[in-house]
Amino acid sequence: MVSPPTLDEIATSDLTPLERELALASFGSNPPHAQTGVAADNPHLEAWRARLDGLRTRNAIAKPLRACGRLTRAAGLVLEAVGLRLSVGSEVMIELPPGSTLAMAEAEVVGFAGDRLFLMPTTEVHGLLPGARVFALESAPVEDPMTGAKRLPVGWGLLGRVLDASGKPLDDLGPLAAVDDAPLTAPTINPLHREPIHKVLDVGVRAINALLTVGRGQRMGLFAGSGVGKSVLLGTMARYTSAEVIVIGLIGERGREVKEFIEQILGKEGLARSVVVAAPADVSPLLRMQAAAYATSLAEYFRDQGKHVLMLMDSLTRYAMAQREIALAVGEPPATKGYPPSVFAKLPALVERTGNGPAGGGSITAFYTVLTEGDDQQDPIADSARAILDGHIVLSRVLAEAGHYPAIDIEASISRAMNALIDDKHLEKTRMLKQMLSRYQRNRDLINVGAYTSGRDALLDRAIALYPRIEAFLQQGYRECAPYDASLKALGSLFTEGG
């Protein structure tokens, strides 16, 4: 044990005057013995040591100070707070009064003006008081290029599960068996690094396989009004597609439709290889947008594992409406039919995350439903989606009301990648069918009233003869599977036997 220095040693050492003075003052009135170097009893020193030990103990168990702000305004969907400096997208907790269902309400920073933060709550805020304390929600540091981004669970253990927008299970099947997490946002992929669309994806629907052929990595839109059969068509594709993994995002739909879609439309067969993310219409617009981003993150995870993914999102319009609610609430001016400019910037940012990855890897084939208000195909969201997607499938209310399923309007639909996927013989058969169908539809009224007499138009005569067979070809039971090869064979025999 090293003995403390004596007064002689301190006096003769190479200490600065200030250091020597402090060393001498530390001995108090009872300095160590000059000859032995052994410290005598010093009650003052012992008292200070005991006090310092007590302070160290208290400091070890004390909680660190948390910076907090104060709520200054609550108007509509937006809350305003001061006293914090946070980035857009940060999460905060807002103190609720005693007796509330929850101790804290959750919110997200969606904008700022000067020193005021604009917050959008993601949970119930009933009972919120003026001046309530606002705390920044600290997240654990992660070693990732997207440091600071919100991360939610991903992994193979999520197959067969139904989750909410925050990655929490809704199906009462116990905790998630996820082994990883991923950010809600992802870096953009260099377009020159993406593999071209050159392989067909079988979706199990005869009209799409034969006449609107879809390739792996293609992004398609299902355009229709309400009640025309979009969800049923998505369920048919989910059950019978050749994709290895299916990710389904139910965004902004009615709450009762979630269970109906899973149990009646998707079924156990489709759910077994699917992950369903549900954010009904009654949740916060932030959570509706988050659910769409989360579904896309899940699809990206499976694509990065080398799998071919089919992503079905119902609907892209509800995603745009959620962004409109947020943008208008924070003061962004409306532009096109009430939609702020940020809506039309968010849509391509979401859609471009899907598609093919680098050559030799996986793919995400995406189908987005687009709700056309009043069956108006010139709705601003429908028009914008049509421009950024690789094709569109239009569902007709007239066909749906006539009991024609799937109610696909072949003349108004197109697959932009189809020509690169099929051979010349298949393309010619498709062109002939569309030609026959178009000629019959243009003269339908004349034919129905008997104003047309056979022999006046050879092409129309052939269209009239083939129409019953074409109509039967385009129809399919929603629990009937029509593989790609069988669809091509049926298309070829349609003209061979029909003359």
Q: What is the CATH number of the domain that holds 93?
A: 2.40.10.170
The pairing of beta strand 274-279 with beta strand 161-163: parallel
**C-alpha closest to that of 158 among 178, 180, 172:** 178
331 lies in the same domain as 406? yes
**The tokens of 481 are what?**
């599977």
Q: Tell me the residue range of the domain where 354 lies.
A: 151-421
For 46-97, list the strands marked E by DSSP: 68-75, 78-82, 91-95
Q: Are both 128 and 173 inside the same structural domain? A: no
Amino acid identity at 211 = L
Residues 237 and 368 in one domain: yes
**Which alpha helices (DSSP H) does 366-443 contain, by range?**
380-388, 397-401, 424-442
Closest CA to 347 of 394, 384, 309, 296: 384
- Residue 143 inside a domain? The answer is no
- One digit per residue, the tens of pLDDT, for the chain of length 499 reads 455 555 566 556 565 665 555 555 555 444 544 444 444 567 777 888 888 888 888 777 776 677 889 999 988 889 999 999 888 888 899 998 888 888 888 999 998 999 999 999 988 888 888 999 999 886 434 344 444 567 899 999 999 999 999 899 998 888 888 778 888 888 888 888 899 999 999 999 999 999 999 999 999 999 988 888 888 898 889 889 988 999 999 998 887 788 888 888 787 878 888 999 999 988 999 999 999 999 999 999 999 999 999 999 988 999 999 999 999 988 888 887 788 999 999 999 999 999 998 888 899 999 999 988 765 667 889 889 999 999 999 999 889 988 899 999 999 999 999 998 999 999 999 999 999 999 988 888 888 788 877 878 888 888 888 999 999 999 998 888 999 999 999 998 887 754 5
Q: What is the pLDDT of residue 45?
A: 78
* Under 8 Å between Cβ of 403 and 474: no
State the CB neighbour count (10 A cutoff) for residue 204. Answer: 20
CA separation for the pair 440, 448 (Å, rounded): 11
CB atoms within 10 A of CB 418: 21
Q: Count of domains in the chain?
A: 3
pLDDT of residue 173: 86
- Its pTM surpasses 0.85: no
What's the pLDDT score for residue 140? 39
Same domain as 395, residue 459: no
One domain, residues 232 and 337: yes
Please identify, among 403, 421, 439, the residue that sits at the C-terminal boundary of a domain: 421
Side chain identity, residue 152:
L
What's phi and psi for 448, nearest 5 deg? -70, -35
The length of the chain, given as a count of residues: 499
Q: Do 336 and 205 share a structural domain? A: yes
Residues 409, 395 within the same domain: yes
Residue 148 confidence (pLDDT): 53
Residue 2 is assigned to a structural domain of this protein? no
Looking at the fold, whether 312 and 191 belong to one and the same domain comes out as yes
Domain assignment of residue 4, yes or no = no
> Tell me, what's the pLDDT at 256?
79
State which of 397, 421, 445 marks the end of a domain: 421
In the listed set 376, 392, 421, which residue is the last one of a domain according to the structure?
421
CA-based torsion, 431, 389, 313, 422: positive or negative: positive
Task: Output DSSP code: residue 160.
Answer: T
389 and 454 together in one domain = no
Instruction: Quote the tokens at residue 129.
Output: 């008081």
Let me know whether 196 and 340 are in one domain: yes
